[in-house]
Amino acid sequence: MPIFRDLFLALSTNAAAHKFVLGFPPARAMTRRFVAGETLEGAIAVVKRVNADGMLATLDFLGEAVTNEQASRGARDEYLRILDAIETNQLNAYASLKPTQMGLVISSDLAFENISAIAARASQVGTTVRVEMEDSPFTQATIDLFKKLRAEFSNVGTVIQSCLFRSEADMQDLYALGAMVRLVKGAYKEPPTVAFPQKKDVDANYLKLAEIFLCDENAPPGTKLALATHDAKIIDWAKNFFKEHNTARERYEFQMLYGIRSDLQKQLNAEGYPMRVYVPYGGQWYPYFMRRLAERPANVFFLISNLFK
Ligand SMILES: Cc1cc2nc3c(=O)[nH]c(=O)nc-3n(C[C@H](O)[C@H](O)[C@H](O)COP(=O)(O)OP(=O)(O)OC[C@H]3O[C@@H](n4cnc5c(N)ncnc54)[C@H](O)[C@@H]3O)c2cc1C
C-alpha cells in the first residue's frame, strides 16, 4: 500500500502530528511493542533477556536530525554510557547510531569527532559501532564519514539500502574495503530519481546486493554481511544460499527489530543461525515509531482499534 506508506512517512517528520501522537495515550502504550522503554536501564533489561535466549543484540539510543552541537555531544555521552553498560553487564551487544544524531547536519567534522570517541571506547570494550543509513540527502556524506572512520577503527560498520539505485556500486566499493555491512530495504520516502518506486524491485535488488558480499570465498578480511530483514522469502533464500555455498558462519548474521517477528527470530536462533535483535530506547521514539507504522498497515489498524476499547 504505497499511499499508506507515503502518508505515514510524511507524518514521521511532521511537527503537528508529532505533538498529537505524544499526547495520545494509546500510541504511547503501543510504542512499547517496538521500543524498549525510555531509559538505558530498561533497554539493558531487554538485552539481558535477548542474550539469555541465545541471541545477540544491538543497542540504539533513539534520536536524529540534531541541529545543535550540545545535543550531539549529549547523544555521544549516552553512547559512552551504553558501552560502559555493555562492559559492566557483559552483554553480547553492540551500539548502532544515526549520523544526524551525531551532528552530521551541522558538520561532518563534528559527527566524525563524536563517533570517533564512541568507536575508541567500543574498541576498548571489544565491541562494534554501526553507522546507520538515513534518507538519501545524507547517503554520500554517511559513506564518506564511514570510510574516514574505518581508516582509523576496524570495529565500525555501516548500512546499505536496497531501495537506492546507487547501492550496487556502494556495495562493491565497501566489499573491496573489507567492510561490515548491514543490508536493509530502506525505511525512508525516496524520490523515483534515486530509488526503485516498486517494492518488488527493492526486494530483487536486496538479493543481488547480498550476493556481492556472500559469493566470493576469498572475501577481503573483515567483510561481514548482516541480513536485516523480516522478509521470510529473503530469509529462506539466504538459508538455501548458505547451504549451497557452505558459507562460513563468521561471514553473516540475521538481524531483526525488537517486537517484530519474534517468532522468526527464535526459530532462526533455534536452527543455529546467528541472530541479532535491534533494541531501541529513549524519549525520541516518534519518527522511529511512525516508520514502523508505515511499514505495516495492520499496525495502524491495531492502534485505531485500541481507541475504541
Ligand atoms: C536490524 C535492522 C536495522 C535497520 N536499520 C536501518 C537503517 O539503518 N536504515 C534504514 O533505512 N532502514 C533500516 N531498517 C529498516 C528497513 O529498511 C525496513 O524498513 C524494515 O526492516 C522493513 O523491511 P523488511 O525487510 O522487514 O521487509 P518488508 O517487505 O517491509 O516486510 C516483510 C515482512 O516483515 C514483517 N514486518 C516488516 N515490518 C514490520 C512492522 N513494522 N511491523 C510488523 N511487521 C513487520 C511483515 O510480516 C512483513 O510482511 C532496519 C531494519 C532492521 C531489521
What are the Cα distances from residue 18, in Å, to 12, 27, 28, 286? Answer: 7, 11, 12, 7
Residue 28 lies in a domain: no
Residue 115 lies in a domain: yes
* Residue to mutate (ligand 1; options 183, 295, 301, 303; most atoms within 8 A of CB): 295
124 alpha carbon – ligand 1 mean position (Å): 31
The model's pTM is 0.96
Nearest CA to 209 out of 241, 257, 243, 246 is that of: 241
CB 201 within 8 A of CB 228: no
C-alpha cell at 133: 543509513
Which residue's CA lies nearest to atom 35 of ligand 1? 230
The residues, ordered by sequence, that sit 6+ positions from 16 with a Cβ below 8 Å of its Cβ are none
Summary mean pLDDT of the chain: 95
Q: What are phi and psi of 229, to 5 degrees?
A: -160, 155
CATH number of the domain where residue 134 is located: 3.20.20.220
Number of domains in the chain: 1
The residues, ordered by sequence, that sit 6+ positions from 12 with a Cβ below 8 Å of its Cβ are 286, 287, 290, 291, 294
Q: How many CB atoms lie within 10 A of CB 283?
A: 13
Q: What is the span of the domain harbouring residue 94?
A: 36-284
Q: Residue 308 — very low, low, confident or very high, per pLDDT cuts 50/70/90? A: low
Indicate which atom in ligand 1 lies nearest the CA of residue 159: 8
Residue 144 lies in a domain: yes
Q: How many CB atoms lie within 10 A of CB 1?
A: 11
Residue 149 lies in a domain: yes
Q: Residue 127 — very low, low, confident or very high, per pLDDT cuts 50/70/90? A: very high
Q: For the segment 220-248, what is each residue's pLDDT rounded down to a tens digit? A: 999 999 999 999 999 999 999 999 999 99
* Residue to mutate (ligand 1; options 229, 233, 265; most atoms within 8 A of CB): 229
Write down the H helix ranges in 69-176: 69-88, 108-125, 139-152, 167-176
229 alpha carbon – ligand 1 mean position (Å): 5
Tell me how far apart the alpha carbons of residues 299 and 259 are, in angstroms, rounded to a whole number: 12
Q: Residue 292's pLDDT is what? A: 93
Q: Residue 306's pLDDT is what? A: 65
Q: For the segment 130-167, what is each residue's pLDDT rounded down to a tens digit? A: 999 999 999 999 999 999 999 999 999 999 999 999 99
Ligand 1 is surrounded, with C-beta below 6 A, by 132-133, 159, 161, 182, 184-188, 228-231, 255-257, 260-261, 278, 292, 295-296, 299
In the predicted structure, residue 28 carries a pLDDT above the cut 90: no
Residue 221 lies in a domain: yes
CB 38 within 8 A of CB 46: no
Q: Residue 1's pLDDT is what? A: 66
Q: For the segment 260-272, what is each residue's pLDDT rounded down to a tens digit? A: 999 999 999 999 9
84 alpha carbon – ligand 1 mean position (Å): 29
> What is the residue whose three cell numbers read 491495531?
302
